[in-house]
Every structure is written in structure tokens, then in C-alpha cells.
């Protein structure tokens, strides 16, 4: 066997590598570690053989199994062969480049417990840096290891081993100290610890500390002689201030000092309801004997707790004077930002670039019309300046208002390059058509819609090399299958890394091919299994198309490669996130105890588990003591578990624990602010009668939170609407920010009630239309209310009005649609294409679309992507070229009327692409004949055949194919599993072989 093959086999067999390394003597081990971690050489010469050492080292550190082996062998041999400091350095390098998932409690038990002070400090420092990347059980095990060594240090006439030095070494691990141990800490030692300048930095990082431990530490600090109301002491407390509980006879200055430090409390892992309650109490103290106008700038982020009525009472001058503080605060509700922005701008009188640049996060409260009223020059400055970081937080209507004004200046081309991030996605396709001077460099840092990427890639490819275009990242969305096929081997190889880096940006149509997977998997046997598992394990199954057949084929091969079992932690390393997709039945009884600990850690990284998994995990979570102690954590889990019923069970349990924990009795009672904040989505379990009993002030303070609860039924929403009328008075008197704060509660408003509201602001209407569930009658009332109150007609609407009106545009009749100005419609067309209107309305929108992009038969892929659902209802759909079928948006496919969908040819249906084919409804299927249904099956598999039954040549094995090529095919190339468009088998084999040779 050649040296190259020997090394390759070792990299694919980390268990054998472990055995080989364990057999090295001390001198050999020292040499191996030197070359691995300290050699700067890119190549190694062994006789007449030259090895690419740089690539080998890169491969070593990319392999989770090899990383585990290096870690284990370092623990086993390094401390015998090298100095402790050198070994700590090696451990540090191995751990920092790995996923750390193999650092489990049993492995921690193998750490040396006899280390010199410098080595121990260095290793402890490493574990503090890795704290957030390790599991809770590993954190506890590492705490135990540190304690074991610290116990050997001499005690300084103390009853506790926890000295000031111990606390410094433990760092974030102090949160694992038992309560009784904290209470035994010597007062001299705690005084010494807090006096240390670095104590604040250390206590600023105890994000997962519990209230009990925090208050115990506060008690010891207080008993040690520190004045807990001294500003200097408060500053040293770090995150302990979040649990400060000595509020008796506190003066306003101390309260303000605490509030200033509590701005960091949003970093805590949970307990935000307690923090919110404490801030509210301190806020009241801070304002004693002073007006809110006088204290506004000194209240830190506690100002978020001010009610709308309190903010309304502020003078414009007070807001202006405090804007330097207010603009740094996060967590504002939309209604609060609207009030403060209005106050600030009423003081400034003129809306200028300078004034806007001072507002920070408050800029989102500026009305759409106000933004549109600014000069194009100042808006261009705004999207380039510090305010640009808040542009993605603006509503679509606000963003459109800015873009339309800049576009109207005639200098839009120079401004396009300054539009960054997600904001660029709001630039219309027709707007891009009108501009010139594009280059790949100006597209860096921009997010693109598919329609934009398709157009820009085609445009720029005429004068730019594909590698330059693909290096921007987002332009991979614009690579069509025809472009894939036209790439020669060298271009594809040079571009490969950009596709692999940006797989998440590609559509299922781009990353799937009909026959390649089944033929590819035939080669994956024996020694080729390891690279296959490792590569797919890193990428995962999420990028495979919706075809269950393909996914099952890959999973079946995974199980075959594992010999139908998960033997140990090395198998778990190989699987990566593939373990999230294996059937529970496969894991049951086939996973060794040794592998289970590593598997459980990997499960935590899964985005969504099947019902079989979540049932097991939910049972593990339902430990009552945990549930009562950490309701916010349970609610967070409830948002991420798969089945809805499981989430509801968690929410119900939390509701019972929170309400019982506050002394709830059988009699009907009112929800408190503290309970509403704690419960979040679990507020759905309040009865109608309990919601009726809610105190008006509690409602006013928490209306935005209640309006964000998605599960309220119509009866609950009606009660909350009536509560709003009770608190705010007559409907015509409701302010814009109040209407917006209602959220889903607004859905309970009748058409008659909607007519009474002041809907003159497009921002108010935009907030209403972002809610789903309006009836046609309600939607029409919103549209009519806006037209009446703003004094506009359909013909005077601007693009940002159209964007803000959103779904209520579906209530327009044909006459009204034809009266929309073409220029305004073209700027808003991408947003209109997201609406699910009736067929007659979409047909009328289609006629408007033709006035922008020309007759329907001339539309290309970028236009179809741009217009969304409008394309799915055009009568000429049956005449569309089959190559354009994948560019119809998936949402549009669902809304193609069955009679139109039925008229599509088998070739058109076969070319839909997997994502679009998966969106076909049962109603649409019922209207298809046998040939069309067969084509639909082909589309689900990723086909692009000219007709059903035409044999595909993609990936077909060649007679006499060499073993080397077969091995390359099985070497784990991600694009081999997903590649759509490489139709010539010899080309695929050559490219894959080159990439992984």
C-alpha cells in the first residue's frame, strides 16, 4: 500500500488511527504532534514521495472522528511525553477546531488531576472559552474536575475550599456551585474576589445563573462589608444586579445606577419576567419626586417598561434631550417607537439626514409619508450612513417609500450600489432593468431575490467570468440549469467551492437530478461508506428534494453503511445531522449505550424531530420541579418541537405551573402583568371570563404582547377588543399607535367598527394587513377606510401605498385595478405577487403585468419569479416554454386553477421541478390524466425530461469505468447527491474525481 493510500485510510478510519497513535513511543508521539501543530511546511518529502501536508492537515481538522481521536490520544499520551503546558496547547487547538460534541462527562473524567498551576490555569481558561459550546452535563463534569484540583490547594483558615482564587479560576463555572457552598464562602475571600478589577468582567458572563444562587452571592457580598448601594459596588456586581432584591428605602440615584447596569440583563438565559418586574419597581423609585421629563435620559433600557400613556405625557424637548440614550435601547414595541419618533421630530421641526441619524432604533417609528417627503439626496445619505443598520427593521411600505423617492431623482444608478443587505431585495426587477453600470463587486453584501439574481447573473455573465460572479454568494441563485450544463470542466471545478459554500441559497430544482442519486449510491460500498457518511452528515438531508423516494434511498444507504447499528461515538460523529432524519425504529435497540450520550447531544442540534423523537423527549422534559422552576425555557422549547399537540401540552403545563405558582384559586381572577409576560404564547389558556376581569392598566401595559399571541380564539379576541374600547374610549379617538399595538386582536373588529377608525396613515393600514385571517368584508372596509380618510383614489395611490395595503388589494374590482398607475404597480409588483387573491383579481393583475413586462409569451424566468402568484393564473400558462416551468414560484403553483393546470402538457409538468411539483394540490391532481400524473412523479424526482419515459443519461455508468472514478463518485461530493444539471455522465465523473482525489 502506498503512503498516500495509507494516510487516506487512516483519515477514514479514526478508530484505527487511534490504535496506531497509541502504539507510538514518546519520541515518535512528540514528533507527530510537532509536525501536526507546529510545522509551517506545506509539503513533506519522504524519499522520492512528496505529500501535500497542508491539505492533509486541513483534512485532519475537518474530520470530527479524527478530532476525537487526537483529543483522546492527547489525554492518553501527551502528558507523559510532553510538558503539561505543551499538552494544554495541543488540547486547546484540537478543541477549538472541532464541534466539541465528543467532550462528554465520561471523557472529562480522563482529564489529568495532577497539573502544575500554569497548565491548570491555561486548561481551565480554555474550558471557560468553550462553555457555551458544551452541554450542561459536560459543564457540570468540568466543574467537578476543576473542584477536584482546587480542593488540593491549601485552605486559608476557611471552612470552604472556595477562595477568591478559586472563584477567579472557576469563572462562569461558579453557577454550578451548590447553594450551601456559596453560603460557606469566607467573607474575607468574597471581599477579596469582588475587590479584584476583573470580577466585573467575570460576573458579566454568568448568563445561566439562577435567582437563588445570585441572591446568595449578593448576600455574601453584602455581609463582607460592601455598601450595596454604592455606585462603585453596583458596577462590580455584573449580572448579579439582575436579581438585586434590597429595595427598601432606596433613593432615586441608587435606583438609576442599578437600572443603568441592568441594561445587560437581556443576556440572561431565562428569568426575564423577574427582571422585568424588578426594572418596573426600580423605575417607580427612580422617578420619585421627579417628573418623567426630568429623568427620561437616566432610566436606561427600563424606559421600555413605560406605558403608552406615560410616553405620550413626555414633552418633545425631553425626548430630544434623551435621544442619545433612547437610540441605543432595544426591545421597543412598535407603538412606543412611533410615539417617541413623533415627539423627537416635532421638536426638530424639519426631517433631515442629520436628525434621522441621531435616532438610531427610533428611525423605524418615522411614518412612510414622512420618509418619502425627504429629499432624494438625504435619503441616499441615510442608506449609506449609520442608520442603514436599521433599514431591514422598516416595514415593506417604509422601505418602498424610500426607494421610490430615490428612484424618482434620476440618480438611482449611483444609489443602487449603496443599498445593502436585505433592503436591496425591495428593489423591483423593472427598476433594475432601467439602470446600467452593474458589476459583481457592487453586489457584495447585498441579498437578492431569485428574480434579481437571474437577471443580474445573465446580464453580468456577458462580460464577467463565472468565478467572479459566484464569489458574491447571492448570485448562485441566478445559475440556471442551462448555465450549469454549459460550464466546461475547468470553470465548474473553479466554481465548485462557491456552490458548496452557498448550498443553502440554491433551490431544490437547482440541487436535484432525477437518476443521479440511485446510480451514485450503487457505488457506495465497503470502504467508500465512510467518506460518503461524513460528507452527507455535514451537509444533511434538508437540501434533498421533497421526493420521499430519494430521501429514503439515501437513508437506506446510510443504514447499510452503519451495518444497521450505531456502534459507538465515532458513528455518531460520522452521521452528523443525518441522525435527525434516521427513523426512530432504526435507533431503538440498535444504538449502543456508549453512542447514546453523543447521540443525545446531536439531537439537541436538530432543527425538527419527527413525532417518534419528540414524544420521547417531551416525556423527559416533564419533570415537575424543572417545569416549575424554568417555565420560560419550557416555552422556548415549545416553539421548536415538531407536533403542534406537543407544543400545546407544554404551554398548558407552563400555564398551570405559573398560575398555580402565583396562588391561583378556583375563583375567576384577573391575569397580572407578571403572569402575562411569563406565559407568552401560553396566555391562550386564559378563559374568556378571566380576560374580562383584566385590569385596564394591565391591558394597556401588555396589549402588544397579547396581540402577538397566535392561538387566541375568536371569543378571546372579542373580549380583548372590548377591553381596548373600555380603556381607550370611542373608536374614532383611537390613535394610530394604539391600532397598531392590537396585533391579532384587531381581527375581532367588525366592518362597521373598522369604518369608525382613523385609517389615514398607510403605516396603520400596513400593520393591519400584516395580520392574516381577515374576511373579505373586513378587508374591503380597511381599503375603503384608507381611501376615505386619506382623501385618495385608486388612481392616486403610490407604490408604497400598494405595498402597505397588501392583502386588501384582493378586494379590488377590475375597474379599480386598471386605474392603478403602471409606474407605481411595476415598483410594487413583487409584493403584489405574494398575495393569494381570487382568480379574477389575479387575471386582472396579469393584464397590468403585461403593461410592465410585455406580453405573457415573452416572459422569461426572472419575470416569472418576480410576479409570483400572478403567473399561476394566466390563461396562457399552457403555452409557456417547458424550460421556464421551474421559475414559477411554488406558492403560485398551488393557486393555478385545476382547469388551467389540467391544460399543461406532460412535458411542462415534468419540468416543474421538485419544489413546485410538491406544491401541487390534491384538487389539481384529480384533473390530471395518467401521462400527466407520471410526469408529476418525474418532476418530484427532479426530472427535466422531454417526455415521460424518455431514458435519462444523467450519471449513467460507463462501461469499463475505472475503480478510481468509482471511488471518486462515492467520496461524498455534496453536489453529486444534489446536482441537477450535469447531464453528461463522463463530465460528472471527471469533475467529482478531480475535486476529491
Spatial distance between the Cα atoms of 428 and 400, rounded to a whole number of angstroms: 10
Which pLDDT score, from 0 to 100, does residue 155 have? 64
Which pLDDT score, from 0 to 100, does residue 540 have? 60
Tell me: pLDDT of 966 over 80. no
Tell me: pLDDT of 627 over 50. no
Grid coordinates of 520: 451514485
Residue 368 maps to a domain: no
Query: pLDDT-derived band of residue 972, with 50, 70 and 90 as boundaries?
Result: very low
Residue 43 maps to a domain: no
Spatial distance between the Cα atoms of 60 and 881, rounded to a whole number of angstroms: 49
Tell me: pLDDT of 975 over 50. no
pLDDT (tens digit, 9 = 90+) per residue, 803-842? Answer: 999 999 999 999 999 999 999 999 999 999 999 999 899 9
Grid coordinates of 660: 398555580
pLDDT (tens digit, 9 = 90+) per residue, 558-603? Answer: 888 888 888 888 888 888 878 888 887 777 778 887 787 677 777 7
Tell me: pLDDT of 961 over 60. no
User: Which is nearest to 584 in space by CA: 553, 561, 601, 559?
Assistant: 559
As a whole number of angstroms, the longest Cα–Cα distance in the chain is: 92
For 745, 894, 904, 905, 921, the CA distances from 924, given in Å and listed in that order, are 35, 8, 11, 14, 5
Beta bridge partners of 566: 591
Percent above pLDDT 90 for the chain: 41
Tell me: pLDDT of 68 over 90. no
Whether the model pTM is above 0.85: no
Query: pLDDT-derived band of residue 964, with 50, 70 and 90 as boundaries?
Result: very low
pLDDT (tens digit, 9 = 90+) per residue, 193-229? Answer: 999 888 889 999 999 999 999 999 999 999 999 999 9
> In which residue are the cell numbers 491539505 written?
55
Would you mind telling me the total number of residues written for the chain in this entry?
997
Among 792, 823, 854, residue at a domain's last position: 823
Q: Considering only 308-312, 612-616, 857-861, which range has the smallest mean pLDDT?
A: 612-616
Which pLDDT score, from 0 to 100, does residue 874 have? 62
Which pLDDT score, from 0 to 100, does residue 455 have? 94
What mean pLDDT comes out for the span 330-342? 92
Which pLDDT score, from 0 to 100, does residue 518 have? 56
Which pLDDT score, from 0 to 100, does residue 907 have? 93
pLDDT (tens digit, 9 = 90+) per residue, 866-906? Answer: 999 998 766 667 778 888 898 999 888 988 888 889 989 99
Of 790 and 502, the one with more pLDDT: 790
pLDDT (tens digit, 9 = 90+) per residue, 708-744? Answer: 999 999 999 999 999 999 999 999 999 999 999 999 9
What mean pLDDT comes out for the span 8-19? 80
Q: Considering only 222-231, 350-359, 660-669, 674-683, which range has the smallest mean pLDDT?
A: 660-669
Q: Considering only 494-508, 680-694, 855-869, 917-931, which range has the smallest mean pLDDT?
A: 494-508
Of 465 and 495, the one with more pLDDT: 465
Cβ atoms 705, 276 nearer than 8 A: no
Residue 897 maps to a domain: no
- Pairing relation of β-strands 43-46 and 49-52? antiparallel
Q: Considering only 662-666, 736-740, 945-949, which range has the smallest mean pLDDT?
A: 945-949
Cβ atoms 427, 416 nearer than 8 A: yes
Grid coordinates of 752: 362597521
754 CB neighbour count, 10 Å cutoff: 23
Which pLDDT score, from 0 to 100, does residue 106 have? 80
Which pLDDT score, from 0 to 100, does residue 693 have? 93
Q: How many domains does the chain have?
A: 2
Percent above pLDDT 70 for the chain: 83
pLDDT (tens digit, 9 = 90+) per residue, 73-118? Answer: 888 888 877 788 888 888 888 887 776 767 878 888 888 888 888 8
What mean pLDDT comes out for the span 337-357? 92
What mean pLDDT comes out for the span 664-680? 78
Of 219 and 546, the one with more pLDDT: 219
User: Which is nearest to 491 in space by CA: 948, 993, 991, 992?
Assistant: 991
Which pLDDT score, from 0 to 100, does residue 982 have? 31
What domain range is 572 assigned to? 516-607+953-996
What mean pLDDT comes out for the span 127-138? 88
Grid coordinates of 111: 482529564
Residue 205 maps to a domain: no
Report the Cα–Cα distance between both ends of the chain, in Å, rounded.
17
Residue 544 maps to a domain: yes
pLDDT (tens digit, 9 = 90+) per residue, 612-626? Answer: 555 444 444 443 334
Which range has highest mean pLDDT (255-269, 656-670, 780-794, 861-875)? 780-794
Which pLDDT score, from 0 to 100, does residue 643 have? 47
Which pLDDT score, from 0 to 100, does residue 211 have? 93
Spatial distance between the Cα atoms of 641 and 610, rounded to a whole number of angstroms: 9
Cβ atoms 783, 789 nearer than 8 A: no
Count CA atoms closer than 13 A to 883's CA, side-chain side: 10
pLDDT (tens digit, 9 = 90+) per residue, 519-540? Answer: 567 777 777 788 788 777 766 6
Among 782, 798, 823, residue at a domain's last position: 823
Which pLDDT score, from 0 to 100, does residue 949 have? 39
Which pLDDT score, from 0 to 100, does residue 336 have? 94
pLDDT (tens digit, 9 = 90+) per residue, 154-184? Answer: 766 667 889 999 999 999 999 999 999 999 9
Which pLDDT score, from 0 to 100, does residue 576 have? 81
Which pLDDT score, from 0 to 100, does residue 450 have? 92
Residue 992 maps to a domain: yes
Tell me: pLDDT of 855 over 50. yes
Which pLDDT score, from 0 to 100, does residue 463 have? 86
Query: pLDDT-derived band of residue 437, with 50, 70 and 90 as boundaries?
Result: confident
pLDDT (tens digit, 9 = 90+) per residue, 422-431? Answer: 888 999 999 8
> In which residue are the cell numbers 435507533 written?
587
Give me the chain's average pLDDT, please: 82
Tell me: pLDDT of 978 over 70. no
Among 823, 844, 862, residue at a domain's last position: 823
Q: Considering only 141-150, 157-166, 480-489, which range has the smallest mean pLDDT?
A: 480-489
Amino acid at each position: 500500500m502506498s503512503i498516500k493510500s495509507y494516510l487516506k485510510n487512516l483519515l477514514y478510519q479514526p478508530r484505527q488511527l487511534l490504535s496506531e497513535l497509541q502504539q507510538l513511543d514518546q519520541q515518535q508521539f512528540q514528533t507527530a504532534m510537532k509536525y501536526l501543530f507546529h510545522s509551517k511546511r506545506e509539503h513533506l518529502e519522504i524519499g522520492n514521495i512528496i505529500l501535500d501536508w497542508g491539505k492533509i492537515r486541513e483534512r485532519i481538522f475537518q474530520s470530527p472522528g479524527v478530532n476525537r481521536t487526537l483529543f483522546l490520544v492527547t489525554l492518553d499520551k501527551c502528558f507523559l511525553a510532553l510538558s503539561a503546558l505543551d499538552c494544554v496547547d495541543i488540547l486547546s487547538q484540537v478543541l477549538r477546531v472541532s464541534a466539541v460534541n465528543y467532550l462528554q462527562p465520561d471523557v472529562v473524567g480522563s482529564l489529568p488531576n495532577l497539573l502544575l498551576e500554569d497548565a491548570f490555569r491555561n486548561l481551565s481558561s480554555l474550558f471557560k472559552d468553550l462553555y457555551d459550546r458544551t452541554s450542561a452535563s459536560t459543564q457540570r463534569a468540568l466543574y467537578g474536575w476543576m473542584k477536584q484540583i482546587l480542593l488540593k490547594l491549601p485552605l486559608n483558615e476557611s471552612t470552604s475550599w472556595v477562595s477568591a482564587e478559586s472563584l477567579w479560576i472557576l469563572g462562569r463555572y461558579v453557577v454550578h456551585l451548590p447553594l450551601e457552598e456559596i453560603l460557606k464562602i469566607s467573607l474575607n475571600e468574597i471581599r477579596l474576589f469582588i475587590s479584584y478589577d476583573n470580577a466585573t468582567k467575570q460576573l458579566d458572563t454568568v448568563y445561566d445563573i439562577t435567582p437563588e444562587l445570585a441572591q446568595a452571592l449578593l448576600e455574601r457580598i453584602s455581609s463582607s462589608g460592601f455598601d450595596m448601594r454604592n455606585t462603585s459596588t453596583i458596577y462590580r456586581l455584573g449580572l448579579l444586579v439582575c436579581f438585586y432584591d434590597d429595595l427598601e428605602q432606596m433613593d432615586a440615584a441608587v435606583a438609576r445606577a442599578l437600572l443603568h447596569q441592568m441594561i445587560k440583563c437581556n443576556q440572561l438565559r431565562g428569568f426575564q419576567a423577574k427582571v422585568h418586574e424588578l426594572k418596573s419597581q426600580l423605575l417607580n423609585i427612580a422617578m420619585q419626586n421627579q417628573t418623567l421629563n426630568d429623568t427620561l435620559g437616566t432610566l436606561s433600557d427600563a424606559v421600555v417598561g413605560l406605558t403608552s400613556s406615560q410616553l405620550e405625557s413626555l414633552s418633545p424637548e425631553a425626548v430630544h434631550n434623551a435621544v442619545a440614550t433612547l437610540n441605543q435601547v432595544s426591545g421597543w414595541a412598535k407603538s412606543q417607537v412611533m410615539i417617541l419618533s413623533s415627539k423627537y421630530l416635532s421638536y426638530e421641526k424639519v426631517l433631515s439626514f442629520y436628525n434621522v441619524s441621531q435616532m438610531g432604533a427610533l428611525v423605524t417609528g418615522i411614518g412612510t409619508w414622512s420618509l418619502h417627503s425627504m429629499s432624494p439626496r438625504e435619503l441616499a445619505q441615510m442608506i449609506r450612513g449609520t442608520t442603514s443598520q436599521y433599514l431591514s427593521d422598516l416595514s415593506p411600505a417604509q422601505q418602498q417609500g424610500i426607494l421610490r423617492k430615490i428612484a424618482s431623482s434620476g440618480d438611482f444608478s449611483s444609489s443602487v450600489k449603496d443599498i445593502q443587505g436585505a433592503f436591496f431585495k425591495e428593489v423591483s426587477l423593472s427598476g433594475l432593468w432601467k439602470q446600467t453600470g452593474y458589476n459583481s463587486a457592487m453586489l457584495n453584501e447585498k441579498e437578492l431575490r431569485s428574480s434579481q439574481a437571474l437577471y443580474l447573473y445573465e446580464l453580468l455573465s456577458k462580460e464577467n467570468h463565472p468565478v467572479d460572479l459566484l464569489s458574491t454568494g447571492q448570485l448562485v441563485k441566478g445559475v440556471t440549469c442551462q448555465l450549469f450544463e454549459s460550464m466546461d470542466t475547468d470553470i465548474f471545478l473553479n466554481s465548485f467551492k462557491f456552490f458548496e459554500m452557498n448550498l443553502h441559497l440554491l433551490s431544490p430544482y437547482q440541487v436535484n437530478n432525477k437518476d443521479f442519486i440511485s446510480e451514485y449510491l450503487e457505488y457506495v460500498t465497503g470502504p467508500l461508506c465512510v467518506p460518503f457518511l461524513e460528507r452527507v452528515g455535514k451537509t444533511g438531508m434538508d437540501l434533498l428534494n421533497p421526493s420521499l423516494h430519494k430521501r429514503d434511498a439515501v437513508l437506506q444507504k446510510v443504514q447499510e453503511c452503519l451495518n444497521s447499528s450505531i456502534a459507538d461515538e465515532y458513528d455518531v460523529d460520522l452521521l452528523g445531522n443525518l441522525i435527525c432524519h434516521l427513523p426512530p425504529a432504526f435507533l431503538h435497540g440498535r444504538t449502543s449505550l456508549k453512542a447514546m450520550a453523543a447521540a443525545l447531544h446531536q439531537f439537541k442540534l436538530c432543527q425538527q424531530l419527527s413525532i417518534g423523537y419528540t414524544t420521547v423527549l417531551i416525556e423527559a422534559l416533564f419533570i415537575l420541579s424543572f417545569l416549575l422552576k424554568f417555565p420560560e425555557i419550557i416555552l422556548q422549547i415549545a416553539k421548536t418541537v415538531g407536533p403542534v399537540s406537543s407544543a400545546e401540552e407544554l404551554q398548558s403545563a407552563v400555564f398551570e405551573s405559573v398560575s398555580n405558582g402565583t396562588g391561583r384559586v378556583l375563583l375567576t381572577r384577573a391575569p397580572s402583568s407578571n403572569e402575562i409576560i411569563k406565559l407568552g404564547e401560553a396566555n391562550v389558556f386564559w378563559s374568556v371570563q378571566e380576560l374580562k376581569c383584566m385590569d385596564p392598566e394591565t391591558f394597556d401595559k401588555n396589549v402588544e404582547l397579547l396581540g402577538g399571541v397566535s392561538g387566541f380564539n375568536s371569543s378571546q379576541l372579542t373580549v380583548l377588543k372590548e377591553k381596548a374600547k373600555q380603556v381607550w374610549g370611542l373608536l374614532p379617538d383611537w390613535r394610530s399607535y394604539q391600532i397598531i399595538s392590537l396585533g391579532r386582536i384587531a381581527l375581532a373588529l367588525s366592518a362597521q367598527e373598522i369604518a369608525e377608525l382613523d385609517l389615514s396613515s398607510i403605516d396603520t393600514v400596513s400593520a393591519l394587513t400584516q395580520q392574516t385571517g381577515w374576511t373579505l368584508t373586513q378587508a374591503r372596509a380597511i381599503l375603503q377606510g384608507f381611501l376615505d380618510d386619506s382623501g385618495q383614489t385608486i388612481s392616486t395611490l403610490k407604490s408604497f401605498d400598494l405595498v402597505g395595503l397588501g392583502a386588501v388589494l384582493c378586494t379590488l374590482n377590475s375597474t379599480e385595478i386598471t386605474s392603478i398607475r403602471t409606474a407605481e404597480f411595476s415598483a410594487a409588483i413583487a409584493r403584489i405577487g405574494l398575495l393569494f387573491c381570487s382568480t379574477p383579481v389575479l387575471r386582472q393583475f396579469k393584464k397590468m403585468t403585461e403593461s410592465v413586462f410585455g406580453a405573457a409569451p415573452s416572459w422569461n424566468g426572472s419575470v416569472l419569479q418576480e410576479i409570483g402568484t400572478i403567473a399561476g393564473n394566466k390563461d396562457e400558462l399552457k403555452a409557456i416554454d417547458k424550460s421556464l416551468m421551474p421559475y414559477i414560484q411554488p406558492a403560485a403553483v398551488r393557486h393555478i386553477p385545476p382547469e388551467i393546470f389540467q391544460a399543461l402538457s406532460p412535458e411542462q409538468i415534468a419540468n416543474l421541478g421538485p419544489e413546485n411539483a410538491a406544491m401541487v394540490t390534491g384538487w389539481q391532481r384529480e384533473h390530471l390524466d395518467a401521462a400527466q400524473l407520471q410526469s408529476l412523479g418525474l418532476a418530484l424526482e427532479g426530472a427535466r425530461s422531454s417526455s415521460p419515459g424518455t431514458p435519462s443519461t444523467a450519471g449513467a455508468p460507463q462501461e469499463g469505468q475505472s475503480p478510481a472514478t468509482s471511488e471518486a463518485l462515492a467520496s461524498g461530493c455534496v453536489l453529486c447527491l444534489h446536482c441537477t444539471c450535469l447531464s453528461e455522465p463522463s463530465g460528472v465523473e471527471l469533475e467529482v474525481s478531480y475535486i476529491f482525489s
